[in-house]
Amino acid sequence: MRTRADIRPRRGSRTDMAAAESCGGDGARPDTTVQRAELRLLLDTALRPGESWYLVGIRWFRQWKKYVGFDSWDVIGEGDRCLLPGPIDNSGLFSDLETQSLKEHLIDELDYVLVPTEAWNKLVAWYGYIDGQQPIERKVVEYGLFVKYYKVEVYLLELKLCESSDPDRVISCHFSRADTVATIEKEMRKLFNIPAEKETRVWNRYMGNAYEQLSKLDSTVQDAGLYQGQVVLIEVKNEDGTWPGQHFLPKSSTATSRNFTTSSKSSASSYSSVSATSVITNGDSSNSYGLNSSHLGRGGSGFVCNSYSCRDSAPLSQPGLCGLSNLGNTCFMNSALQCLSNTPPLTDYFLEDKYEAEINQSNPLGMRGEIAEAYADLIKQIWSGRQSYMAPRMFKTQVGRFAPQFSGYQQQDSQELLAFLLDGLHEDLNRVKKKPYLELKDANGRPDSEVAKEAWENHRLRNDSIIVDIFHGLFKSTLVCPKCSKVSVTFDPFCYLTLPLPLRRDRLMEVTLVYADPRRRPVQYRVVVPMMGAISDLCESLSKLSGVPAENMVVTEVYNHRFHKIFQMDEGLNHIMPKDDIFVYEVCKPSEDGSEYVTLSVYFREKTMRQSSSTSGTVLFGQPLLISVPKHKLTVDHLYSVVLEQISRYVKLPLAEEYSTPCPDKGTCNGSNTAVEGDIEEMEHQDGGQEGKEKLTEVDPCHSEGCMQIESARDLQPCKKQHFTFSLVNASGTSEINSIVEGKILKLNAFSALAVDWDFDTRRLLFDEQEAQAFEKHGSMLQPQKKKAVVALRDCIELFTTMETLGEHDPWYCPNCKKHQQATKKFDLWSLPRILVVHLKRFSYSRYWRDKLDTVVEFPIRGLNMSEFVCDPRAGSYVYDLIAVSNHYGAMGVGHYTAYAKNKVNDKWYYFDDSSVSVASEDQIVTKAAYVLFYQRRNSEEHTVPSPPQEECDGMETN
């Protein structure tokens, strides 16, 4: 599975077509207070199955929120017409603007927001949407059987459809998981021109060339277990009443029938539709689509087989070396399952059918034994040696029934699935049928060994399963009150260790500096900034490399040829994501005459003719500018000369005067109501709204060496033809606000946005596209980056056991002081399990920041000695050998999961990448992708019960 592609166009990318052309938006727009109130109410609408919701690009939606003051902390620009969002623009969500197919791995609230139908209709009525873009409508789908869970199905399921008479002709179609098999059949009849009177059968291919009949037409796509990219085949009955493949069907068969479902209780559920299906398995290369008579059942109708494969085939591979098909973003599940499958004591337990006597169907915290049975069936298939890979569809379906967060097809976390699965198996296999009530006792100064023994015995009175036997250990937690020195010691069981990684204190950022001197090309720098620093820190670091004073810098994020954000100096760098395009502008403000200057945003647009009419629209292109102009010189003529000076490096004017023309009449010579050289600019004018407010404070006059005066000596003569015109536009450059009157002083505020409009011929004649996109690289970009620090696993363990002070938002209630205190807290290990699962905490979250730490953690393949970290003085030797690793490649929320695991039969390492299994060597295993580690204790002694009371641990003092 590929990692998420960079979603920002770089310089030189396809120009943004989301300028002025729009559909809808003709209705009267209420004031911002009404918009805010109406949308706030609608956005709280509950999800209901079958209803439609719409995707709105996050960038447009954030701009709308700024304009209406939606968030209480961001009301300074409410009603500012410079912040008008313009028509709804979803171009950032598409991987291809022509087909309008969605990019992979889009994330809710990070890339888009979901709005209900009524909210969408209001936004369209108020603002319209970009001409040519289709609304992205999606349905609400219900997940889960016992725990109902609703979510909007953003990504439809792609199925590959074909006909039995021509299986090589495959047509891809998208379906909702709420669609039925009947819907698929209807679509296939239409695609393959099958008459309505013809009888058909529908089959799905689920493994290699194995086919399974979809006999219940009212089953949903989700219930039938269809997955992304699966082949679905339609078979048309012959004129003589036979089916095309029926001559392969035997008259009798001794094949054993086996039901799809994993327990009799589940057969009555909505998922039982798959238990009534038939299976055709490949084995005869001469047939049309993989029929094999040796696997067909009685009566010529096929036999019912389990969800993975038939059990009566000959061994094909080494037991345990069975890949797992990716069912659509399920690599996280495959990685976790391969690690658990290669945990010998757990796998032996299931292969030897010991679980059957311990299934607890009455445990209210369990899943009626169904997770245990589904897992057992899966493990038996993996270790049967009868196939090189399999599709774990029914296991995923069972997991999704009880844990709806795993029921969809979005990427999830392998460690979170492991946690659910271990807990689910434990409760399904808990030998305790009726859990006793136990009253917790305080340590009250008793020896640690006594308190630990009591805690473990109490734990086993309520929790007794193979999972506890193998995976559970015991923590010691010590809290000390800073006021009264009260010490609280507790012992708690754990199933896995979550270890923190040493955090980086700084980060590298790549930014492009645009100099005030128009003759200089922009320069790209790589700067080192504090991880939790501010924009001012970025400017200081850049100043040291460039020589430009930090106070003369304005930091911006550029997206689709416009300023998506202009940052304040005190804003945190955590607002800037690693892949954002950051441009820093040197803004010089001459101070000789003490004039007040205003900084303006300048966008470049090309006037284009609409295909649907004879009127014109505009297209954004090029790199936007920031210019500073004296307020008393804010006239069209002066702006023209300033902009012309700033773009003189890549706009070459002719020397001759053939472009001279008589002066136009005074009046409104710019904007949508003005005839400019034959083109009529018909833009979306925005009415109403208060005057814009200044966004940024004024910065000091320019002190940088060589800084050019923006005020140009080359003022435009009134009778010389203007090669471009101006329009006052919103912050996105998508809608005009007012026409610009020539000859008058313009009342513009800080960071008002101007559009420089070119006609097609003039742009092609004068504008040097290659030079406009050109930039240079500073030496900091060419220097090899420092090799990332390597962290030892023991460093992570030491960090985990280091004393820390609780935060002010996470205090501890001291029973002595009778109040919450910021106590010191220390974790220690008292006893360790037979299988030690180590979770490296690579992912960090904040409101604006989602990061993955790709630090290389060096962990031993064999001989991990944990004895020094175990506090129990009577503990034996804790030496572990690695048996499996779950890997994660790529960024957070996306990327790909794989696994390394050691086969218990031949003691060789293998690499599991979905359906692919390959031999691996030990030197390949330690990488920055390692995420969850599985260690097995060397000796057979399990040490699941703490040692009897002897003496207190003398290594546990916190002072």
- pLDDT tens-digit profile of 405-444? 666 566 677 888 888 889 889 888 888 888 888 777 777 7
Closest-CA residue to 540 (of 531, 551, 532): 551
Tokens of 451: 């308190």
Q: Which two tokens stand for residue 707?
A: 């800084």
Which residues, 6 or more positions from 602, have their beta carbon under 8 angstroms from its beta carbon?
Answer: 624, 625, 626, 627, 643, 646, 753, 754, 755, 756
Q: Kindly give, in sequence order, each residue whose CB lies less than 8 Å from that of residue 426, ignoring residues fewer than 6 positions away.
A: 463, 465, 467, 468
Instruction: Return the DSSP state at 813.
Output: E
**DSSP conformational letter for 779:** H
Q: Starting at the edge strand that comes first in sequence, how are the strands of the sheet with 137-143 ordered? A: 112-116, 52-57, 137-143, 149-152
Q: Where do the DSSP E strands lie in 198-258?
A: 200-207, 210-213, 231-236
| Residue 360: predicted pLDDT | 85
Rounded-to-integer distance, Cα 427 and Cα 429, Å: 5
How many angstroms separate the Cα of 838 from the Cα of each of 497, 796, 855, 923, 942? Answer: 5, 10, 16, 20, 18
Q: At what angle do helices 344-351 and 331-341 cross, to 10 degrees?
A: 80
Residue 212 burial (10 A CB sphere; 0-12, 13-18, 19+): buried
Rounded to an integer, what distance in angstroms lies between the CA atom of residue 382 and that of residue 378? 6
d(CA 374, CA 265): 13
Asked if residue 115 lies in contact with residue 123, where contact means CB atoms within 8 angstroms, the answer is yes
- Taking the C-alpha atoms of 374, 375, 379 and 380 in order, what is their torsion angle to the nearest 10 degrees? -30
Q: What is the pLDDT of residue 502?
A: 78
| pLDDT (0 to 100) of residue 143 | 65
- Contacts for 267-276: CB closer than 8 Å, 24+ residues apart: 269/145, 269/401, 270/145, 270/223, 271/145, 271/223, 271/397, 271/401, 273/216, 273/218, 273/219, 273/223, 273/224, 274/219, 274/223, 274/224, 274/225, 274/307, 274/394, 275/304, 276/215, 276/216, 276/304
Rounded distance, CA 591 to CA 572, Å? 30
How far is it, in rounded angstroms, from Cα 481 to Cα 533? 32
Residue 894 has what pLDDT? Answer: 65
Largest CA distance in the chain: 105
- Catalytic (active-site) positions: 331, 896
At residue 610, the pLDDT reads: 56
Q: Sign of the CA dihedral 488, 491, 493, 497? A: positive
Q: CA distances (Å), 731 to each of 74, 743, 804, 953, in order?
A: 16, 24, 46, 65
3-state secondary structure of 33: helix
DSSP letters spanning 711-722:
S-S-PPPTTSPP
Specify the pLDDT at position 413: 78
Half-sphere exposure of 404 (CA within 13 A, CB side): 11
The pLDDT tens digits of the residues spanning 501-544 come to 877 677 888 999 999 888 889 999 999 888 778 899 999 999 99
Nearest to 270 by CA among 340, 319, 216: 216
Nearest to 99 by CA among 128, 132, 129, 69: 132
Run of H or E residues at 487: strand 487-494
CB 142 within 8 A of CB 148: yes
SS3 content of the chain, % helix, strand, coil (to 5): 25, 25, 50
Distance CA 307, CA 767 (A): 63
User: Amino acid identity of 36?
Assistant: R
Tell me the pairing of strands 675-676 and 562-566: unpaired
Contact 943, 831 (CB under 8 A): yes
pLDDT value at residue 780: 86
Pairing mode, strands 582-586 and 506-514: parallel
In angstroms, rounded to a whole number, what is the distance separating the alpha carbons of residues 949 and 476? 15
Q: Look up tokens 């441009």; give the residue.
A: 583
Q: Using an 8 Å Cβ cutoff, are 38 and 122 in contact?
A: yes
Which run of H or of E encompasses 856?
Answer: strand 856-858
DSSP structure string for 379-434: HHHHTT-S-SEE--HHHHHHHHHH-GGGSSSS---HHHHHHHHHHHHHHHT-S-SS
Closest Cα to residue 587, out of 572, 602, 603? 602
Q: Which residues of the chain have pLDDT under 50?
A: 1-21, 145-146, 246-315, 656-719, 846-849, 940-959
pTM of the model: 0.53
